Chains A and B, each alone.
Chain A
Amino acid sequence: MERELRLMKGNEAIAEAAIRAGTDGYFGYPITPQSEIVEYLMEAKPYETTGMVVLQAESEIAAINMVYGGAGCGKKVMTTSSSPGISLMQEGITYIAGAELPCLIDNIVRGGPGLGTIQPAQSDYFQSVKGGGHGDYHLIVLAPASVQEMADFVELGFDLAFRYRNPVMILSDGAIGQMMEKVYLNPQKERSGTVPEWATTGKPPDRERNIITSLELDSAKQELFNLKLIAKYDEIKEKEVRFEEFQCEDAEYLFVAYGTSARVCQKAVQLARNEGIRAGLLRPVTLFPFPEKQIERFAEKVKIIFSVEMSAGQMKEDVMLAAAGRVPVFHFGRMGGMVPTPEEVLDFLKSKITGD
C-alpha cells in the first residue's frame, strides 16, 4: 500500500486522515488550539469528493448531538474540540456511551480549569479515562505522541469504535496539534455504504424495530445493561492495551508518560543515559485500557517510577494502583500550558536518585 508523504500539523493530519478514512460526517465548533481541523475540512470540501458532511454547528452541544444522531444511523461520524468544548459535550458523550454507539471524539487539550489557557496541557486525563459524564461508562482513549499517530489513530479509532460499539477519544494536546512533522497518509478509502444491523435507518418488514436509547426505567434491566457494559470494558482491557517501551530492558528508573510528555521523556532518557543513569520510558498508547500489567511488571524490577504529565498528577493515581506499593512513584509535571523540558525532567530524576 503506497502511503503519501506530507509535512503537516497534527491538527491538519487528523482532518486529512478523517477524509481518507472514509468518514461520513464531521460536526464541530472552532476553539484554539484545534481550529485548524475545522478550517482544513472546510477548505478541503470533502463533500464534493467523498460526500463526507462537514458542518460547523452552532455550539459544541449541538455538534455532539449531531454525532449522536449520525452514529445512531450507523454512520462513521466524529467531532473535535479542546478542553472547554469537550466539557460542554459530556452530556452527549455519556448518552452515546449509554446507547452503545460508535463515534470518534478528538480532544486537543489546553490548560484549565475553566477557560484556562490556549497552551498545551494534559489536565483532562481524569475526564477522559474515568468517564467524564455521569454513569458507569468508559471511553476507549488513544494518546498520540506524533503527527503520524494523529493520522493513524483516526482509522484505528473508528475500527475500535465499531468493533465495540463504544465512543473512542483521541486525547491529544495543543503541542501535537500545532507542531509539524512528516506524516505518511493512507490512500483514500471509499465511504462504507453498509448499514450495521443495529442502526436506525427505517424498519424493514422482516425484523423487529431497532431502538437507540440510553433510557431503561426497569432497574433490574438497567443493572443487567450495566453488567453488559462492564463485560465489554473487561474485554477491551483484555485485548486492546497498547503501549511502547523505550530503553526499558535494563532500566533502573522508569518514566511513564504519554503524548507530548512521552516525547520529552524520550529525550530525558537519552540525556540520562549519556550520564550513565539507566532510565527508560513506558509510553501508554491507550490510556483506557491502561497498561497496568506492564507497569506492575516493571514495579518488580525498577527502583523508582516517575509519572510525567502536564497535569497535577492525574495519571499518577493509575500508575500507583498498578505499582501497588512495590516501588516509590513520584509525579513530575508542569501545568497551565507550560511544557516541561527534557532537562527539567532529568533534574527531577536526579534529585530523587540522590534522595534515596
Chain B
Amino acid sequence: MVRVTNLRKHFNGHKVLAGINFRVRKGEAVALIGPSGSGKTTLIRTINGFVIPDAGTIAVGGQEIKYRNPESLRQARKKIGMIYQLFNLVERTSVQVNVMAGALGRLDRGLSLLSSTLGFFTRQEREKARELLGFVGLEDKVRERVDRLSGGQKQRVAIARALMQEPELLLADEPIANLDPKASKKIMELLLRINQEKKITLITVLHHLDSVRDHFGRVIALKEGAICFDAATRTLNDHRVQDIYSIEEEFACVAAQAGSI
C-alpha cells in the first residue's frame, strides 16, 4: 500500500530524514513512534505531499507521488485521509459542512466544482455525510457549529471528514495528544475500528506507548531521522524503548527491521 524508498530531507542544513525505507501492506495498522524532532511529522507530511523530499520516492497504492505536478499530487491526496493533532476544522461552520469538505476532491469538474465551491452538494453526498457522522457517533450534532464541540467530538468530525474522501490510506499525526484519557481511548478505538471494518490502511504518529501496545500490531520507531525499530509490537520491550528515547547513547540504535520488507 505504501512503499517508502530511501527518503531523505533536510531543513536549513539540519538532517530530518536520513534515508528511510519501509513498506506498509494494505489493511495494516502501524504506529510511528520516536522522540520529538525525530522526523515523524515530516515523514507523514511527505506521504501526503506537504513536504517535498530531497531524495527518495514514496508510492501509495502502487502510484509514485509526483511532487512537482500539482494535478497528480491532488489526485494522490484524494485517496489519503489525514487526521491532525489540533483537528484543523473550520471552526465557524457546521459539523456537516466540515465533513462535506472531504467530498471536494471528488467534485472537481464542471458544474459540481462550481456548486461545491459555493457550498451546495447533492442529496447523495449529504446523506453520506450524515451516515458517516452516525458511524463516528455524532448523529445528533450534524447542524451544530464546530466551535461548540468538545475536543473528542471535534476529532470525530475530522475523522468523518477523512472518511468522506473514501480513502485507501489514513494518516494520523498525534490524533490524541490534545485529548483527555477517556476521549483518547475512544478515538483510538474508532481509528482501529475503521482500519478493521473498512480495511483502510492506518499509519499513526503516537506518543502514548500504552495506546501503541493496546492497539497496534506493528511499530516503526524513528530516531534522528532514521528507522531504529520496525517490528511486531510484542517485541517492543522496555530495553528497546529506552534505546529509542535515550539521548545519551546516540549510537545505541539497532536496526531491528523484521517482517515487513
Does A associate with B in a complex? Answer: no
